[in-house]
Amino acid sequence: MEQQEKKIGFWMALLPLIVMIVVMIFTIVKLKQDPHVPLMIGTATAAIVAWKMGFKWKEIEEMMYKGIRLALPAVVIIMLVGLIIGAWMGGGIVATMIYYGLKIITPSWFLVAICLICTIVSLAIGSSWSTMGTIGVAGMGIGLSMGVPAGMIAGAIISGAYFGDKMSPLSDTTNLAAGLTGTDLFDHIKHMFYTTIPGLLIALGVYAFLGRSFAGNQIEAFEIAQTSKVMQESFVISPWLLLVPLAVIVLVALKVPAIPALVVGIILGYLSQIFIQGGSLAGGIEALQSGFTIATGNVMVDELFNRGGVESMMFTVSLTIIAMTFGGILEFSGMLQALMNQLMKVVKSSASLITSTIAACFLTNASCSEQYISIVVPSRMFSKAYQNMGLHSKNLSRALEDGGTLTSVFIPWNTCGVFILGTLGVSVFEYGPYAILNFAVPLLSILYAVTGFTIVKLTQEEKDKLAADELKEEKLQKELNIA
């Protein structure tokens, strides 16, 4: 592919993004339709621009395929989460978590509690998706039973899940940001304390304030009692079933990869449906394929438990694949690079550099639809600029996570936004205002950049070492070229 020989101007590179966003807003807001077609229109526009700039159709196809290949790990996880939801619904595992959750957590403190629970679990396992796909699903059930709006519940779950995803040494995005910038992992995590801990405290404060409106409502107390009673009549409720989610959490905490750990959770859920709930082998397979179904006569319970299965995730899978064809063309044609180059022109100080990094991460989340790319591309773009301004690499690694990892949830067509819709059943427009941590942290990061608070400069010794490493690399590159 001749990507480097074809220079794409800023406005040509921006055109596909403008077309896609305008069509997306009109389709979703005005027509109340799904985002698939707007993304296809954006992809077609990007392909036309690439073709006009001299790329052959075969090259454009390869860009789309490369984009899809980047999303394949996410697609596998999405399908496994569909399976685990079906298995845990049928196995009574979610019912057990909801039942005991309703006994322990009061409505007024629910948002604070579910945020903290998700924080602890995601810190232990290092995965926001696994946390949302297991604990988050149960949390939605508990909160809805208490009469808490779905957007608030999802926002609290997301805030907690992404705190752990960002701060856990087991998290892939945490290791990715540290590795790409050459920052020590634990230095990177400690530097994120300054933005992420205040962000969590702000979120908990907001959730405590919002929770006051759910205290002492007798109608909701009656509904909670009715929901608990119907669940007892419809499922075998046992604390032993809590060992299933505990087993998955322990496996991931022991650094077992996410896919095998989720498969264990699926198997245990399936066996629970057969041997504990008394279901049939065929019924267990049906729950995995098309979702668990139950008719209790209680609307709340039926809405909570009629879900899951791999088929329920096909909307999410198809949207992810389409989004990545769009992102693939932007990334591999050089359009994203052209957008980044324009952004770099406004960089005049350390404050504007860090702010531009966060903006670039958000732009990449919107254009390439994948949070990993939102860390990888800006890290390549800005690494040298941070060094030239005498800024320590941990400033860059923190900005990548503050702007990339956390803002991915605000893009409806990003893999994270799509996953949340498929798993928690709540759209970006509903949970966005309540994902407090996810927008508080980037704002704090920009505030720190402007004031200089916690911005670490390179020491002279560190500057000398970087210069020496550069000379070694240049020498090695020359030797390789000669050879």
Q: Which two tokens stand for residue 63?
A: 């860009």
Other beta carbons within 10 Å of 482: 6
Q: What is the dihedral of CA 265, 269, 234, 152, to 10 degrees?
A: 20
- What count of residues does the chain have? 483
Q: Which two tokens stand for residue 356?
A: 């531009």
pTM of the model: 0.77
Judged on CB neighbours under 10 Å (0-12, 13-18, 19+), 40 is: middle
Give the pLDDT score at 222: 67
Give pLDDT tens digits for 424-463. Answer: 999 999 999 999 999 999 999 999 999 999 999 988 888 8
Query: Alpha-carbon torsion 462, 463, 466, 472, what sign?
Result: negative
Q: Are 454 and 194 in contact (CB under 8 A)?
A: yes
C-alpha closest to that of 234 among 309, 294, 303, 300: 294
Cβ partners under 8 Å of residue 7, min gap 6:
334, 338
The residues pairing with 457 across neighbouring beta strands, listed in sequence order, are 391
Q: Which two tokens stand for residue 369?
A: 């639809």
Q: What is the CA radius of gyration of the chain?
A: 24
Compute the distance between CA of residue 344 and CA of residue 363 in angstroms, rounded to an integer: 13
Output the furthest CA–CA distance in the chain (Å, rounded). 81
Sequence spans of domains, the chain: 3-69+314-460, 74-311
Residue 251 is classified by DSSP as H
SS3 81: helix
Per-residue pLDDT of the chain (483 residues; tens, 9 = 90+): 444 456 788 899 889 988 988 888 888 778 878 888 988 998 999 999 999 999 999 999 999 998 888 778 878 887 888 898 899 999 999 889 888 877 877 888 899 999 998 998 888 677 888 789 878 888 898 888 888 999 999 999 999 999 988 888 767 788 888 887 888 888 898 999 999 999 999 999 999 999 988 876 554 566 677 878 888 999 999 999 989 988 987 887 787 877 888 899 999 999 999 999 999 999 999 999 999 999 888 777 887 788 888 998 888 788 778 888 888 898 889 888 888 788 778 788 889 999 999 998 998 888 777 787 788 778 877 887 888 888 999 999 999 999 999 999 999 888 899 899 988 999 999 999 999 999 999 999 999 999 999 999 988 888 878 777 777 766 665 665 555
Q: Are 369 and 375 in contact (CB under 8 A)?
A: no
Other beta carbons within 10 Å of 423: 27
The residues pairing with 391 across neighbouring beta strands, listed in sequence order, are 457
Q: Are 70 and 329 in contact (CB under 8 A)?
A: no
Compute the distance between CA of residue 366 and CA of residue 373 in angstroms, rounded to an integer: 11
